[in-house]
Amino acid sequence: MKITALAGGVGGARFLRGLRDALAARGLGPMSATPATVTVIGNTGDDITLFGLRVCPDLDTVLYTLGGGVNEEQGWGRADEGHLLQGELAAYGVEPQWFGLGDRDLGTHVARSLWLGQGASLSEVTARLAARWGLPESGFTLRPMTDTPVETHVVIPDDDGTGSRAVHFQEWWVRLRAAVAAQRFVVVGMDRATPAPGVLEAIRTADVVLLPPSNPVVSIGVILGVPGVRDALRGTPAPVVGVSPLVGGRPVRGHADACLRAIGVESSSAAVAGLYADFLDGWLVDSSDSDGSYADRVAVQRRPLLMSSPPATAELAGAALDLALSLRGRGARAVG
Ligand code: GDP
Ligand code: CA
């Protein structure tokens, strides 16, 4: 079985770890007679250059989570982390200091930047990083959505309130904590971006496509903006099943509601499904969610959506997989 998933950072990575457990529990793990393979298409809109180093927060969260190196409480960054290097930079007055980069984490960014500087593509670099974290052994391939450098920027009111200015998504999210109303998001570089090698093929040839509960605007929404991705999802014969990132109309963590507000979409599971209406076949919403209106084609299932523990997460991922399998062979969705 070939599974393709689109993923941002923490929500995506936790779901993927649950998927790995769910596959093992179904006898589809890497050591089984019929191992499933999972291609993860990762968001690179969060990428940023800091201290001369290229940082890919969402790709790294997936690597660290699947590789067992993540800080579990935070959901991102490395476990057993120190901050000696950033302290030294602070002593020299080197900015920014609002983006925390631990010493172990910096090892990843130095390696990535070195290899990029030697001419490797982001796909090649990501494959090298993934080898260290054991993804190939568990049947997982992490592909950046594009090898073209792109960055999500956020248009916000300027300081005197008379005009507007754009800041990097990380500055809005981390430094401003998304408390300043976003007017719109602009993915700088997307106009010349092409999908990374294997991305469209992974969608077109998948048996199942899953959308983890990643941020619908700045994670999944940005991946959908890569030329060709949305068309591939519309055209794939694979069922596409997603998990809502909202419980009771609110994000479980982070500021997805502020992102939805910026694009004029209500903070509800039904409204998020509406963003995927042209290709979505199945949708998991929380048991506590109020009813919403969905396209006729979408099979909606209710269940607890909190990824509160590894077993609960495996159960959720297994439910998404089972729903997708039950929708297999439904035929290609009507185009248009
Ligand atoms: P980020 O890049 O680190 O922000 O991570 P993602 O974009 O992959 O995921 C962020 C989204 O995950 C947020 O909108 C959260 O609401 C959602 N999320 C986090 N934890 C959970 C959970 O336990 N259950 C569900 N359903 N969604 C979650
Ligand atoms: Ca992210």
pLDDT at 334 over 70: no
Cβ of residue 280 lying under 6 Å from some atom of ligand 1: no
Euclidean distance between CA atoms 162 and 153, whole angstroms = 19
Instruction: Look up residue 131 and give its two tokens.
Output: 């080898």
The pLDDT score that the predictor gives to residue 2 is 98
Q: pLDDT tens digits for 35-81?
A: 999 999 999 999 999 999 999 999 999 999 999 999 999 999 999 99
pTM as predicted: 0.97
Please name which of 97, 93, 106 lies closest in space to residue 171, comparing C-alpha atoms.
Answer: 97
User: Per-residue confidence at 335, pLDDT binned at 50, 70, 90?
Assistant: very low
The pLDDT score that the predictor gives to residue 336 is 38
Percent of the chain beyond pLDDT 90?
95
Distance 45 CA to ligand 1 centre (A): 16
Ligand with an atom nearest the CA of residue 46: 2
- Count, residues in the chain: 336
The pLDDT score that the predictor gives to residue 333 is 64
Which residues of the chain form beta strands (DSSP E)?
A: 2-7, 37-42, 48-50, 53-55, 140-144, 151-157, 164-168, 184-188, 208-211, 240-243, 246-247, 250-251, 282-286, 299-303
Test site for ligand 1: of 219, 222, 265, 267, most ligand atoms within 8 A of the Cβ: 219
The pLDDT score that the predictor gives to residue 318 is 98
Contact (CB, 8 A) for 74 and 81: no
Give, in order, the Cα–Cα distances in Å from 22 to each of 15, 31, 135, 313, 321: 10, 14, 16, 9, 9
Q: If one looks up domain 2-147+192-248+266-326 in CATH, what number appears?
A: 3.40.50
The pLDDT score that the predictor gives to residue 331 is 55
Distance 9 CA to ligand 2 centre (A): 5
**Pairing assessment for the beta strands 37-42 and 48-50 based on DSSP bridges:** unpaired
The pLDDT score that the predictor gives to residue 252 is 97
Euclidean distance between CA atoms 149 and 79, whole angstroms = 28
Cβ of residue 184 lying under 6 Å from some atom of ligand 1: no
In this structure, the number of other CB atoms found within 10 A of the CB of residue 237 comes to 14
Q: What's the mean pLDDT in 164-183?
A: 95
Q: Pick the atom of ligand 1 nearest to 76's CA.
A: 3
Q: pLDDT tens digits for 209-261?
A: 999 999 999 999 999 999 999 999 999 999 999 999 999 999 999 999 999 99
Cβ of residue 77 lying under 6 Å from some atom of ligand 1: no
Euclidean distance between CA atoms 247 and 322, whole angstroms = 21
When computed from its CA atoms, the radius of gyration of the chain, rounded to whole angstroms, is 19
Euclidean distance between CA atoms 215 and 1, whole angstroms = 26
Q: pLDDT tens digits for 253-303?
A: 999 999 999 999 999 999 999 999 999 999 999 999 988 899 889 999 999
Distance 253 CA to ligand 1 centre (A): 6
Q: Pick the atom of ligand 1 nearest to 219's CA.
A: 7
For the chain, the average pLDDT equals: 96
Distance 246 CA to ligand 1 centre (A): 8
Question: Which residues are in the CB-under-5-Å shell of ion ligand 2?
Answer: 8-9, 46, 58
Please name which of 266, 261, 269, 257 lies closest in space to residue 305, comparing C-alpha atoms.
Answer: 269
DSSP string computed for 69-98: -B-TTTSSSBSS---HHHHHHHHTTPSP-S
Test site for ligand 1: of 14, 66, 214, most ligand atoms within 8 A of the Cβ: 214
Helices (H) and strands (E) in the chain, counts: 12, 14
Q: pLDDT tens digits for 299-316?
A: 999 999 999 999 999 999
Omega before 96 within 30 of 0, i.e. cis = yes
Residue 272 is given by DSSP the state H
Give, in order, the Cα–Cα distances in Å from 295 to each of 22, 151, 164, 236, 274: 28, 32, 37, 19, 8
Euclidean distance between CA atoms 194 and 92, whole angstroms = 39
